[in-house]
């Protein structure tokens, strides 16, 4: 079993427990009272490098990263630094996240919020919407073509913007065939956890200029941000470098300004 397969297995078990506590009908009933979602795409297409700043406590590869007592305060610092969106890890077992973190961040910031999780079931999309997400992550490696197409449609129906994540050329082709308009290149192989920052440059040209391209993982310095911007990135998703930085507001600003 790969690391990704192991994570998804745990996600499904945790999902079953949440579904037993909160039935789908309860989530559906809550949809009518929700505010409209925020569209991140105009900012991502705006010409400058957008920073998606992540609230991330730990990871399967590095273990504990930061003791984040107040995710809302951290997200506020990111926004003050010029982040275009906030990514919130909600996977519990390997990343230490929760839907409570998503609730807290949504209540504090006025910019788009991404639910960062392993989305494998329709129930999770309603959860994301009810808990205030504007974007959701779809990992091509964990989905069949039929699931990817169905989830893209479901996200659209709910007003959620899907960030479709790829790692290989074959996954790029699948994402493009599905009609994805926002594609993230993960420089970390989720099956081995190895990181190669050059992966973005290899895949960016294959994605093409008509799609918003996001560089994910392995970005730690302004020089890294400038590198992927020169290779075609419209946005970067950064977690570890920010949560370990003593001044997250300044760190976000430095990443964004480095590529202007």
Reported as a single tens digit per residue, the pLDDT across 140-173 is 999 999 999 999 999 999 999 999 999 999 999 9
Distance CA 108, CA 20 (A): 29
Q: Is 186 an active-site residue?
A: yes
What mean pLDDT do residues 105-125 have?
A: 97
Residue in 91, 216, 231, 249 annotated catalytic? 216
| Cβ pair 109, 86 in contact under 8 A | yes
Of the candidates 238, 235, 204, which has an alpha carbon nearest to the alpha carbon of residue 221?
A: 238
Q: Locate tokens 């990817």: which residue?
A: 148
Residue in 186, 187, 199, 227 annotated catalytic? 186
SS3 state at 93: coil
Residue in 77, 87, 142, 165 annotated catalytic? 165
Q: What pLDDT score does 244 carry?
A: 87
Confidence class of residue 195 from pLDDT cuts 50, 70 and 90? confident
Confidence class of residue 44 from pLDDT cuts 50, 70 and 90? very high
Q: What pLDDT score does 260 carry?
A: 63
Q: Is 147 an active-site residue?
A: no
Q: Is 28 an active-site residue?
A: no
> Which structure tokens are listed for 224?
């890294």
Q: Is 56 an active-site residue?
A: yes
Q: What is the pTM (predicted TM-score) of this model?
A: 0.95
Angle at the Cα of 143 from the Cα atoms of 106 and 125, rounded to 5 degrees: 30
Q: Is 217 an active-site residue?
A: yes
End-to-end CA distance of the chain: 42
Q: What pLDDT score does 121 carry?
A: 97
Q: Is 187 an active-site residue?
A: no
Helix (DSSP H) and strand (DSSP E) numbers for the chain: 12, 10
Distance CA 233, CA 215 (A): 6
Q: What pLDDT score does 243 carry?
A: 85
Q: What pLDDT score does 228 carry?
A: 96
Q: 3-258 architecture in CATH?
A: Alpha-Beta Barrel (3.20)
What mean pLDDT do residues 99-106 have?
A: 98
Confidence class of residue 222 from pLDDT cuts 50, 70 and 90? very high
Residue of 60 and 249 predicted with greater confidence: 249
Q: Is 165 an active-site residue?
A: yes
Give the contacts of 102 (CB within 8 A, at least 6 positions apart). 88, 90, 113, 115, 128, 131, 132, 133
């Amino acid at each position: 079993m790969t690391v990704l397969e192991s994570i998804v297995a745990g996600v499904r078990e945790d999902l079953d427990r949440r579904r037993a506590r909160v039935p789908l009908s309860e989530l559906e009933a809550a949809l009518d009272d929700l505010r409209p979602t925020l569209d991140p795409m105009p900012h991502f297409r705006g010409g400058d490098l957008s920073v998606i700043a992540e609230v991330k406590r730990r990871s399967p590869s590095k273990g504990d990263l930061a003791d984040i007592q107040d995710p809302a305060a951290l997200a506020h610092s990111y926004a003050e630094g010029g982040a275009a969106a906030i990514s919130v890890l909600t996977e519990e077992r390997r990343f230490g996240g929760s839907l409570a973190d998503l609730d807290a961040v949504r209540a504090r910031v006025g910019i788009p919020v991404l639910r960062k999780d392993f989305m494998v079931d329709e129930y999770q999309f309603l959860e994301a919407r009810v808990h205030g997400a504007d974007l959701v992550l779809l990992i091509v490696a964990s989905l069949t073509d039929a699931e990817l197409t169905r989830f893209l449609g479901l996200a659209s129906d709910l007003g959620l913007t899907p960030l479709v994540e790829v790692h290989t050329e074959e996954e790029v082709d699948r994402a493009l065939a599905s009609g994805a308009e926002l594609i993230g290149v993960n420089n970390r192989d989720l099956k081995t956890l190895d990181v190669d920052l050059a992966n973005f440059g290899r895949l960016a040209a294959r994605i093409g200029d008509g799609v918003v391209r996001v560089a994910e993982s392995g970005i730690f310095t302004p020089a890294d941000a400038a590198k992927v911007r020169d290779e075609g990135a419209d946005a970067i998703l950064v977690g570890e470098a920010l949560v370990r930085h003593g001044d997250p507001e300044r760190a976000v600003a430095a990443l964004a300004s480095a590529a202007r």
